Structure 1
Amino acid sequence: MYPQFPPGFRFGMSTSAYQIEGAASLAGKGPSIWDTFTSGGGTVRHGQDGRVAIDHYHRFAEDIQLIAGAGVQDYRFSFSWPRVLAGDLGFYDRLVDTIIEAGLRPVPTLYHWDLPQELEDTGGWMNRDTAHRLADYTSTLVLRLGDRVRDWITMNEMNVHTLYGYALADHAPARGLGLGALPAGHHQLLAHGLAVQVLRTHGARTVGVASQHFPVSPATDAPEDVAAATLFSELTNWTFSDPILLGDYPNEMIRAGVGTEGAQLDRDLELIKARLDFYGVNYYEPTMIEAPRAGKDYSGVLEVDIPTDMPFSPVPVKSDERTDFGWAIVPAGLTEILVTLRDRYPGLPPVFITENGASFHDADPGPDGRVHDERRIAYLDAHLRAVADAITAGVRVDGYYVWSALDNFEWAAGFDERFGLIHVDFDTLKRTPKDSYFWYRDLITAQSAGS
């Protein structure tokens, strides 16, 4: 009934601080770039924001018990940098202790897009100094929690954060810099390297990063479409993984565009390619690209629209089914990207799938008290089988984390999109495990019995 995985394979769930915590100004917490972005009007569906989110800050004990009840071994969450900056480390003390008491391994992410607004005011990720501020923040956390937290993720989806928030204006901080955003990517990579250095110094057991990856294919075999797809993949996939895993950027245009040159760039890249214990892969859907056709409307193809003056344009991926977010459901793409990573990086560390999941507009609990989300079960089953296929093909994958544990604030999509295994009534904040939660629990039980 279920895909099977090697002994020791770990299952988990993932969340991020801004999307679930709420308590926006409690204990002196200052604003993040997302607080600023959501207060701007017209930037998020229905004018919604994360000031309350799902109030995990006050309900974390209940949430952790629910997560543990699914039988997972790991819980991936993130810290709120503005909350830590305000000195509210007591919340994370309590959270980590509760995670451990529930029998879970805490796997926190240092940075999941919620940059303190005060750092954005001095340039944000376009300012090299922000990387050093993240190193300071890392020191604060590891000194406080390193006796209990041994496994760390540095950064989440630097490619998406750079593309949506700095190159475009669809996410915070909405800079709209186009290719001029490349320095923001480099400074995040530098922050990753500095964080690895800090974590190693303080005895971290394992250190990794969470990167979104997806296959990119040309719409046709025409040379211009192949070239456009290659460039798009270099910018969105390899600009962030090549420096970490190979120690350089994928082409000279990108290397020249990151805003750091010569010996300083070489020193940065040496730091960025520090050894990792695992490499996190977030996967949702593949992308198809063509060279722009004059007069053709490309709006609405992706979650965000690529400016018309870019040398590549997206076309719809052929797929028999889509999520309610409009994303193509292509499980084979997960197998493909894992094999591609293995082939591109001969020294690839063990992989964890740090995010994979789907938004379906689930109904509220019915008369039987259940949330019936059969499409999510089918999605998860197919993608776990795709992971098993990659393992059979020789890729070392050591774990899989569902995105997400709970329905949450889904960035610019507000509360419309539901990714959770646990349903949240956004009015009452009542939690209800969905059928997919029980399916995942049963799969993990079957895996344990099989091993």
Structure 2
Amino acid sequence: MIPTRADFPPGFLFGTATSAYQIEGAALGGAGPCHWDSFAATPGNVAGAADGARACDHLTRYEADLDLVAGAGFDIYRFSTSWARVLPGGAGAPNPEGLDFYDRLVDATLARGLRPALTLYHWELPSALADLGGWANRDTAHRFADFAALMAKRLGDRVWSWATVNEPFCAGWLGHFEGVHAPGLRDIRATARAMHHLALAHGLGLAALRAAGASEIGIVLNFEPAFPADPGEEARAAALRYDAVFNRFFLGGVARGAYPDLALEGLGPYLPPGWQADIAAISAPIDWLGVNYYTVKRIAPAPGPWPGWAERPAPGRKTDMGWEIAPMALPDLLRWISGSHTGDLPLYVTENGMAAPDTVLAGANGPEIRDEDRIAFLAGHLAAAREAIAGGVPLKGYILWSLLDNFEWAFGYGKRFGLVHVDFESLQRTPKASYHALRRMLQESTP
């Protein structure tokens, strides 16, 4: 069973999340092109040749979408801003329509008694900056700081919390080493520079936000605990390398002022000259850390050059993404983060959720989506969050991914994470059984 608010400490916050490119409609409202537009326009990159041009049309439907957030009883609405919507050229003159939209969005969030949690960058790099080398170019980090300052000047009096970058691992590694995210490269030199410049963008963006008077600033990192796929020493070593790159590269830079040695074995030769001088900015104090958690990985050794790992199929129950369902790993992950890196720094689970093959059924009062698998997933992870808190982890909130079914990057519109079903033809929203279960949980005051 899903627990109630009374099962969590007083003041513990619950929320749900979205991101700009996945829901807004990137072709609307004067937004400039971004590298996800060109990635999606390249045959074979995105399932069904889908793109984010219309997505969920949140740009014009945000009021009704925020009604769904408030109607469920959430405390936080986590969203991101589109850099390309605000600065179509990546720099220079802003798009008034873009700034006005985020003004309205923040005001509408506050009007519903919700806390606006703004993420500045959730992967939509303006094409004008991609043309200059994107994240492999150091100047992009400085342009990001300019964007951060602009948004703080416009919204800083009303935003509850700021995140600089969401999941820099995905933007850096998946986009430049594995090629499955924009910009679709497979180049270790570009990867090393992109990873470092994303970390630098966080540091410079943090400084720009502080200079503009913003507070409650953090970064959102994703984590996948890595386990050896077999008992051998080679599998153990491969899992440690995976952990160093996926889990410890950005966390180490931000929280310890050092990238892990096992990551530097492969990336170090390709980092930009003098990168060590940037560590002071990267490791400047933050106010909170966001932890995105979905799954664990089983890692085996692989032939060939560094990093020499391969993922093995997940045992047991899986989501529609093929990801192992592993709530039992969350408490240990949170204990490790706070115990070895962040200490008393407040932690938030900023994303946790499940893609499921939802089926729309004809109900007596309209369409119904009975996603009991998602309800079980959420119940398990909420129980894991309670266990972490009981063990002394300074976990202050839990934010679910996602409010809406949306454009799921290279998977197009085929993977549904939403608490609310979206018909991508009519754009009709239908709350799922999981939405109603959470609404009951959030509005009950006793177990």
TM above 0.5, one fold?
Answer: yes
Cα 1:207/1:227, change in 2 over 3 Å: same
Tell me by how many angstroms 1:346 deviates: 5.1
Paired amino acid for 2:181: H
Cα 1:150/1:258, change in 2 over 3 Å: farther
**Residue of structure 1 in register with 2:410 after alignment:** 412
Deviations 1:257-284 (A, max 9, x none): 45234xx433311111111111100011
Tell me by how many angstroms 1:347 deviates: 2.7
Of 197, 206, 227, which aligns to 1:187? 197
Cα 1:23/1:312, change in 2 over 3 Å: closer
Cα 1:288/1:348, change in 2 over 3 Å: farther
Deviations 1:384-425 (A, max 9, x none): 111111111221100000000011010010111110001111
**Residue of structure 2 in register with 1:15 after alignment:** 18
Q: Secondary structure of the equivalent of 1:289?
A: strand
Moved more, 417-426 or 200-209: 200-209
Say whether residues 1:375 and 2:373 are aligned partners. yes
TM-score with structure 2 setting the length? 0.93
What is the rounded CA distance, in whole Å, between the counterparts of 1:363 and 1:308 in structure 2?
43
Of 67, 81, 85, which aligns to 1:65? 67
What is the rounded CA distance, in whole Å, between the counterparts of 1:416 and 1:141 in structure 2?
33
Paired amino acid for 2:428: K
Deviations 1:254-309 (A, max 9, x none): 57245234xx433311111111111100011101111126xxxxxxxxxxxxx987
Asked whether the equivalents of residues 18 and 50 of structure 1 are also in contact (C-alpha less than 8 Å), the reply is yes
Say whether residues 1:430 and 2:437 are aligned partners. no
Paired amino acid for 1:42: G
Paired amino acid for 2:63: A
Of 6, 9, 13, which aligns to 1:6? 9
Asked whether the equivalents of residues 279 and 352 of structure 1 are also in contact (C-alpha less than 8 Å), the reply is yes
**Residue of structure 2 in register with 1:311 after alignment:** 308
**Residue of structure 2 in register with 1:93 after alignment:** 103
Paired amino acid for 2:354: A
Say whether residues 1:49 and 2:51 are aligned partners. yes
Asked whether the equivalents of residues 159 and 240 of structure 1 are also in contact (C-alpha less than 8 Å), the reply is yes
**Residue of structure 1 in register with 2:382 after alignment:** 384
Asked whether the equivalents of residues 338 and 345 of structure 2 are also in contact (C-alpha less than 8 Å), the reply is no
Cα 1:123/1:346, change in 2 over 3 Å: closer
Paired amino acid for 1:318: P
What is the rounded CA distance, in whole Å, between the counterparts of 1:122 and 1:226 in structure 2?
40
Moved more, 72-81 or 331-340: 331-340
TM-score with structure 1 setting the length? 0.92
Cα 1:242/1:208, change in 2 over 3 Å: same
Tell me by how many angstroms 1:317 deviates: 2.9
Tell me by how many angstroms 1:212 deviates: 0.3
What is the rounded CA distance, in whole Å, between the counterparts of 1:132 and 1:143 in structure 2?
17
Moved more, 356-365 or 415-424: 356-365
Tell me by how many angstroms 1:365 deviates: 4.5
Asked whether the equivalents of residues 217 and 289 of structure 1 are also in contact (C-alpha less than 8 Å), the reply is yes
Cα 1:22/1:308, change in 2 over 3 Å: farther
What is the rounded CA distance, in whole Å, between the counterparts of 2:305 and 2:157 in structure 1?
50
Cα 1:361/1:317, change in 2 over 3 Å: closer
Asked whether the equivalents of residues 314 and 322 of structure 2 are also in contact (C-alpha less than 8 Å), the reply is no
Q: Secondary structure of the equivalent of 1:26?
A: coil
Paired amino acid for 1:96: V
Say whether residues 1:361 and 2:357 are aligned partners. yes
Tell me by how many angstroms 1:339 deviates: 1.7
Tell me by how many angstroms 1:2 deviates: 4.0
Paired amino acid for 1:5: F
Q: Secondary structure of the equivalent of 1:209?
A: strand
Deviations 1:63-111 (A, max 9, x none): 0111110100100000010000041211111111111111111001000
Cα 1:346/1:109, change in 2 over 3 Å: closer
Cα 1:156/1:257, change in 2 over 3 Å: farther
What is the rounded CA distance, in whole Å, between the counterparts of 2:361 and 2:69 in structure 1?
19
Asked whether the equivalents of residues 239 and 309 of structure 2 are also in contact (C-alpha less than 8 Å), the reply is yes
Q: CA RMSD in A?
A: 1.7
Asked whether the equivalents of residues 214 and 334 of structure 1 are also in contact (C-alpha less than 8 Å), the reply is no
Cα 1:38/1:355, change in 2 over 3 Å: same
Asked whether the equivalents of residues 21 and 52 of structure 2 are also in contact (C-alpha less than 8 Å), the reply is yes
Cα 1:308/1:435, change in 2 over 3 Å: farther
Say whether residues 1:332 and 2:325 are aligned partners. no
**Residue of structure 1 in register with 2:284 after alignment:** 274
Say whether residues 1:222 and 2:220 are aligned partners. no
Tell me by how many angstroms 1:449 deviates: 4.6
What is the rounded CA distance, in whole Å, between the counterparts of 2:415 and 2:162 in structure 1?
28
Tell me by how many angstroms 1:367 deviates: 2.5
What is the rounded CA distance, in whole Å, between the counterparts of 2:42 and 2:190 in structure 1?
23
Deviations 1:41-66 (A, max 9, x none): 22111111110001000101110111
Counterparts of 1:100-249 in structure 2, within 5 Å, are 100-178=110-188, 180-249=190-259
Deviations 1:355-395 (A, max 9, x none): 00001111125223222111110000001111111111221
**Residue of structure 2 in register with 1:284 after alignment:** 294
Unaligned 5+ runs, structure 1: 294-306
Moved more, 146-155 or 63-72: 146-155
Cα 1:41/1:53, change in 2 over 3 Å: same
Paired amino acid for 1:433: P
Residues paired across the two proteins, number:
432
Say whether residues 1:253 and 2:265 are aligned partners. yes
Deviations 1:323-365 (A, max 9, x none): 1221111111212211221232153511100000001111125
What is the rounded CA distance, in whole Å, between the counterparts of 1:53 and 1:236 in structure 2?
29
What is the rounded CA distance, in whole Å, between the counterparts of 1:270 and 1:237 in structure 2?
20
Tell me by how many angstroms 1:442 deviates: 1.4
Paired amino acid for 2:371: D
What is the rounded CA distance, in whole Å, between the counterparts of 1:187 and 1:240 in structure 2?
11
Asked whether the equivalents of residues 168 and 178 of structure 1 are also in contact (C-alpha less than 8 Å), the reply is no
Tell me by how many angstroms 1:220 deviates: 2.5
Asked whether the equivalents of residues 137 and 194 of structure 2 are also in contact (C-alpha less than 8 Å), the reply is yes
Q: Secondary structure of the equivalent of 2:362?
A: coil
> Which aligned runs of 4 or more in structure 1 are off by greater than 6 angstroms?
none
